[in-house]
Amino acid sequence: MGDQEIPTAQEAADITVHLRSLSGIRTEGNLTYSNYVDAIVGYRGTNTYLADCEEGVQSPDLSCTIRDVFNPRGMGRAFLNSLAVTLPATFLPILFAGLAAYAFSWFSFPGRYLLFAILVGLQVVPLQMTLVPISRIYADLNLNGTFLGVWLFHTGFGMPYAIYLMFNFIGSLPRDLLESAYLDGASHWTAFRRLVIPLAMPAIASLAIFQFLWVWNDLLVALVFLGGRNPVMTYQISNMVTSLGAGWHLLTAAAFLSMLLPMVIFFFMQRYFIRGMLAGAVKG
């Protein structure tokens, strides 16, 4: 064969850029503003990401931009789904655990300590072991693919530790304080709402941080019970890596977006965190 002309470095770079443009891959691989916009909107292999609703060209129309942000393939809708899962799944176990801890601390009933030991012992049950039986129950109740099913699952697995921590904290409150409230005519609900909850805010904040981070970063439960019907952020991020590779600049941008809210919540509530953990660690 004859001699073949070897392309120069500049010609090779131009060919690479041209091939990347034909395949729909962005040529800018740095952490730029456009990467974060692509992650939110859902990159579709065009040179414009705020595309017109019908024509596929860049449009200043706000309604078109909103529709692109909530594109099912983007992170906007996944962010809202993650909030819809995480907020109730954080609030419900704390509420029920607070009521249960108050009952274990101030009510006397047969088998109280045995029941408490059983509830605390449920912490050792592996989450993965219950996925199949609970999934079958959800199928009979038509709860698969619904937010309610995920809320119930996270509430059930979050309550044992929450009850343990809240029991140690509420049980260490001064008995004279609650007895004075009872003598003044306060009911158990009034004492719980007006006295126990404000005093237990450090423990509640610690539980809220733990539960929020666990649910927000969860992929397994969301994958099993929600799937692609209502994708959350972890599910959407995992789908960015396929057998054909991944857009690493988009993957890192999406991962950073998923970290923002937990970081804000942690820094906002960190002054309660250590106080709650130390106060609820040992009773007495």
Give tens-digit pLDDT for 101-124: 999 988 888 888 899 889 888 888
Question: What is the model's pLDDT at position 51?
Answer: 41
Tokens 């857009």 appear where? Answer: 247
Query: Are 215 and 85 within 8 A, CB to CB?
Result: yes
Q: Which residues of the chain form CATH 1.10.3720.10?
A: 75-281
Question: What is the model's pLDDT at position 247?
Answer: 58
| Interval 183-209 mean pLDDT | 87
For residue 251, how many other CB atoms are within 10 A of its CB?
16
User: What is the rounded CA–CA span in Å between residue 175 and residue 260?
Assistant: 41
CATH number of 75-281: 1.10.3720.10
Handedness of CA 135, 141, 142, 143 (dihedral sign): negative
* Phi, psi (degrees; rounded to nearest 5) at 280: -95, 0
Question: What confidence category does residue 157 fall into, taking pLDDT thresholds of 50, 70 and 90?
Answer: very high
Question: What is the model's pLDDT at position 33?
Answer: 57
Question: What is the model's pLDDT at position 148?
Answer: 93
Query: For 56-71, how does the pLDDT look when each residue is reduced to its tens digit (9 = 90+)?
Result: 344 445 455 455 545 5
